[in-house]
């Protein structure tokens, strides 16, 4: 009988020890932890438009995978899709309607995982990539690694005024057309299909979104 009681006490002590190992603070369990959470994707570039009718991440093979964990490394399920969005790494994009420029495809599952698969409603160009924000917290590549996901965002709204696209953008595009190979960041911003040259394919993508109507009703997805 005493042996049985000792076993029960030992199990209780072990459970208590598990909560105290290495001084782990469990007070924030269940909340998003930026270092344990992670985001990743293949390297590439996406063509964006303020109207939100550019290329989709999943179509280009650039799906961004997200894992949300708390401070003890446990998954955080049920984070709403609208609570996860993208921002640019160098703050060079005009994200139409803020965080709704692109949100996650679905809420986090039981493993704390979700994806970004759609298109980005934005103007400007950021070759530095994007950051994933979850409930207002920028998450990295795990254990506080570089939070920039290597997906460049290039829009035909070069001046980032929310118009897709106007005469000013046309002047910018044609001033560097054609370019082979692309070298500078400015050249890269015109290389919509990310093949290393600015050519007729990029021109066709640009003209396919040309809009000379600069009224406020034609800005940012209106």
SS3 letters for 62-89?
A: CCEEEECECCCCCECCCCCHHHEEEEEC
For the record, the structure tokens of 75 come out as 């998954």
The domain in which residue 175 lies consists of: 28-218
Q: Would you say residue 33 lies in a domain? A: yes
Q: Would you say residue 169 lies in a domain? A: yes
CB 207, CB 149: distance < 8 Å: no
Q: Would you say residue 23 lies in a domain? A: no
Give CA torsion, residues 58, 62, 63, 66, to 10 deg.
-170
Q: Would you say residue 4 lies in a domain? A: no
CB 66, CB 38: distance < 8 Å: yes
Q: Would you say residue 11 lies in a domain? A: no
pTM: 0.83
Q: Would you say residue 119 lies in a domain? A: yes
Q: What is the pLDDT along the chain (222 residues), one digit of tens a residue?
A: 433 332 333 333 333 333 333 445 555 688 999 999 999 999 999 999 888 889 999 999 999 999 999 999 999 999 999 999 999 999 999 998 888 999 999 999 999 999 999 999 999 999 999 999 999 999 988 778 889 999 999 999 998 888 766 778 888 888 878 999 999 999 999 999 999 999 999 998 888 877 655 554 456 755
Count of domains for the chain = 1
Q: Would you say residue 103 lies in a domain? A: yes
Sign of the torsion angle spanned by Cα atoms 101, 106, 107, 111: negative
What is the H or E stretch that residue 185 is in?
Answer: helix 185-190
Give the span between the Cα atoms of 84 and 121, in whole angstroms.
Answer: 15
CATH number (domain holding residue 133): 2.60.40.10
For the record, the structure tokens of 197 come out as 């040259």
CB 86, CB 116: distance < 8 Å: yes
Q: Would you say residue 22 lies in a domain? A: no
């Amino acid at each position: 009988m005493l042996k049985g009681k000792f076993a029960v006490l030992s199990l209780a002590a072990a459970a208590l020890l598990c909560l105290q190992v290495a001084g782990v603070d469990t007070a924030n369990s269940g909340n998003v932890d930026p270092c344990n959470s992670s985001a990743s994707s293949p390297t590439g570039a996406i063509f964006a438009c303020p109207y939100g009718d550019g290329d989709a991440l999943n179509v280009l093979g650039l799906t961004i995978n997200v894992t949300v964990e708390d401070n003890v490394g446990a998954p955080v399920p049920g984070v709403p899709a609208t609570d996860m969005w993208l921002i640019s790494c160098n703050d060079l994009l005009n994200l139409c309607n803020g965080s709704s420029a692109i949100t996650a495809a679905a809420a986090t599952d039981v493993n704390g995982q979700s994806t970004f698969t759609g298109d980005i409603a934005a103007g400007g160009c950021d070759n530095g990539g994007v950051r994933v924000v979850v409930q207002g917290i920028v998450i990295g590549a795990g254990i506080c690694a570089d939070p920039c996901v290597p997906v460049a965002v290039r829009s035909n709204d070069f001046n980032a005024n929310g118009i897709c696209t106007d005469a000013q953008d046309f002047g910018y595009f044609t001033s560097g057309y054609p370019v082979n190979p692309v070298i500078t960041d400015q050249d890269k911003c015109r290389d919509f299909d990310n093949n290393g040259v600015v050519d007729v394919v990029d021109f066709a993508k640009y003209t396919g979104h040309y809009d000379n109507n600069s009224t406020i009703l034609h800005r940012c997805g209106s």
